[in-house]
Amino acid sequence: MEVELISHTPEPDIIAAVAAMLTHSKSNFKELKKEDEEKLRKVLRIVIDMGHTSVVEHAYFTFAISGVSRALTHQLVRHRIASYSQQSQRYVEQEMRYVIPPSIAKEFGKEYEEMMRKIWDFYEKMKEKGIPIEDARYVLPNAAHTKIIVSMNARSLLNFFELRCCLHAQWEIRKLAWKMLKLVRQVAPTIFEKAGPPCKTRHECPMNKKDCRWYPKK
């Protein structure tokens, strides 16, 4: 899995903080932006803690993601407030590249790899016989590698991290979420300093999974 933050709103913390201050000030953007940076970050922390996260929607982040499965991207695109551009299996011939879940690798690694070879051999055979790529792809598995570019605003990302950094999320999308969180914290540390699963950020478990090793201790 490779994840790269390829673009983002300049000074996302500051833009969000100024947006928050603007709602209660007669000053204009340029005047507010001249405020002490630490004061701006303090205001932003207060606003986020109060749950008024609409101001962070002004900050956008774009990621290039590769080496992940179609199973992952089927889950990823359920996050509605985002923009997605995914590599097409209809137009791009697929190489034999796929994800092996750790649980399968441990118990059935050899059989799994044999099955993948059979699938791709059949895929190649169909193409050789003139079957269109858009039809031959029907045999490809959820495990097949894909590439996708994703853009989300910070508010959507906070929701994404809350749901997908959780241990209840599937392992692959959870791994992606933590990689994305690490990247955005480098450029927007104030917005994302308390981002993550609710068991870590609010010491509560909405799913009440008491058998989870991260379940908050009273």
Per-residue pLDDT tens for 26-67?
888 888 888 888 999 999 999 999 999 999 999 999 999 999
- Write out residues in the chain with pLDDT < 70, as ranges: 218
Structure confidence at residue 218 (pLDDT): 64
Structure confidence at residue 83 (pLDDT): 98
At 138 the three-state DSSP class reads helix
Pick one of 3.90.1150.10, 3.30.1360.170, 3.30.470.10, 1.10.10.10 as the CATH number of 2-85+145-201. 3.30.1360.170
Residue in this structure with the two tokens 């791009």, named with its chain if needed = 92
The two structure tokens encoding residue 109: 């690694």
40 half-sphere exposure, CB direction, 13 A CA radius: 22
Sheet with 83-86, edge to edge strand ranges: 2-8, 60-69, 145-153, 83-86
The two structure tokens encoding residue 152: 């989300």
Structure confidence at residue 71 (pLDDT): 98
Q: How far apart are CA 171 and CA 102, in angstroms?
A: 9
Q: What are the residue ranges spanned by the domains of the chain?
A: 2-85+145-201, 96-139
The two structure tokens encoding residue 179: 């990689």
- Catalytic residue numbers, as ranges: 164
The one-letter amino acid at 162: E
CB distance 55 to 47 below 8 Å = yes
Structure confidence at residue 195 (pLDDT): 94
